[in-house]
Structure 1
Amino acid sequence: MAHIDYFTITLSPFAYLAGQGLEEVAKKHGATITYKPFNLMQVFEQTGGTPPAKRHPARQAYRMQELARIAKRNNLPINLKPAYFPANPAPSCYALIAAQDAGGGDLGGLCQGFMSACWAEDKDLADDAVIRACLEANGFDPKLADSGLLSGAQTFEKNTEEALQRNVFGAPSYVVGDQVFWGQDRLSYLDDYLSEIG
């Protein structure tokens, strides 16, 4: 059975625009997924990436055009200038890690719920009430927002180191073995690869 390591961050608009695409591909192939929230800004610093706000205006403008195009193509609502962006992604990333450890809910729905809160609902991902509501809406105990802080922080750090070791430099990244598929527009390539390896 194939396994996908999903390196993401809850503030990524491109991860949001993937919708449930990863979960659909995994289900099609009977693959398992490990969600690995990581520190994207640290990875940018160590791999030569530039945060969006520091990019040339031409690149910033193109990014906005692309986000609008992808949202339209994928039939997902998007606010190109969210009220709370950038927010601190750590609390929601820690909650995602805690939910994965706890099990019993819809992890894909939770991940998407966090990103939707930012990019479609103008909610603050650093707000404890927002995190708790997303947890509860996806079948998890809202108290995970508090109980998973320490282990979440440790796993977040480990995921970041692992991302660097496995040649991940952006989010979303889907990794199977030594194969890295970067970006929501590479899900079709991931689908093809999983078909090849059976």
Structure 2
Amino acid sequence: MRKTVTYYLALVSPWAYLGSQRFTDLVTRYDAQVQLRPIDLSEVFPKSGGLPLAKRAPARQAYRLQELERWREECGLPLTLHPRHFPSPEQTAAHMVIAADMAGANALGLAHAMLRAVWAEERNIDDEDTLRAIADEQGLDGTNLLAQAKEPEIAERRSAYTAQALEDGVFGVPSYLIDGELFWGQDRLDFVEKRLRG
């Protein structure tokens, strides 16, 4: 039976970026269906005991940088530890990904491109011209997606995804839900693969 993975992410998460291509490769290899769910961490953290980066203790912030360096090397991916446009509002970017997903376009590829833009290319995903260009580079109609991203239905859908994430026990990203079992973090992709393998 074909597996379904509910994939919760935020488009400014370095951890989602580090796991993004590997996750895409896994779901392709195992022919899994993906329910792509860009969520609002500013809603998730207060309700799940998390803190935004700036409010974390200095020791936690320092350790995060060490871990990013380790995982950057482990994954062999370009990653800027202090990107020019982080933190950055991601609402419009998330809405574009949702709009692409609703249209049956390659939303997973667009999400990866948004993540790469922040962490490897130092681009501003809070800038509409940049967002339009990123979508166009993925073979999508950036102008159309940007217009759709401003529709109230899209905002409502992201809010619903965020509420569902909390119901599913999500407290951070990336998180992967398979048959009711939650896996948090790109460092759990080995377990995701085992689950997909059955």
Q: Report the TM-score, using the length of structure 2 for normalisation.
A: 0.95
Equivalent positions of 1:163-178 (< 5 A) are 163-178=165-180
Equivalence for 1:155: 157
Shift of 1:120: 1.1
SS, match of residue 70 in structure 1 = helix
In structure 1, C-alpha distance between the alignment counterparts of 2:138 and 2:118, rounded to whole Å: 17
Q: Residues 67-110 of structure 1: CA distance to partner in whole angstroms, max 9, x if unpaired? A: 11111111111111111111111010000000111123x32221
Q: Which amino acid aligns with 1:131?
A: L
Equivalence for 2:9: 8
Shift of 1:139: 2.0
Q: Residues 139-162 of structure 1: CA distance to partner in whole angstroms, max 9, x if unpaired? A: 211121122322221111000000
Equivalence for 1:191: 193
SS, match of residue 20 in structure 2 = coil
Judge conservation of contact 2:98–2:107 (CA < 8 Å) in 1. no
Q: Which amino acid aligns with 1:172?
A: P
Judge conservation of contact 1:107–1:138 (CA < 8 Å) in 2. no
Equivalence for 1:180: 182
In structure 2, C-alpha distance between the alignment counterparts of 1:176 and 1:41, rounded to whole Å: 24
Shift of 1:172: 0.3
Shift of 1:19: 3.4
Equivalent positions of 1:37-186 (< 5 A) are 37-104=38-105, 106-142=106-142, 143-149=144-150, 150-186=152-188
SS, match of residue 147 in structure 2 = helix
Runs of 4+ in 1 over 3 A off after TM superposition: none
In structure 1, C-alpha distance between the alignment counterparts of 2:173 and 2:27, rounded to whole Å: 18
Q: Residues 109-159 of structure 1: CA distance to partner in whole angstroms, max 9, x if unpaired? A: 211110111111111111001111111111211121122322221111000
User: What root-mean-square deviation, in Å, do the aligned CA atoms of Structure 1 and Structure 2 show?
Assistant: 1.1
Aligned residues: 195
Shift of 1:11: 0.4
Structure 2: any 5+ residue segments left out of the alignment? none
Percent sequence identity is 36
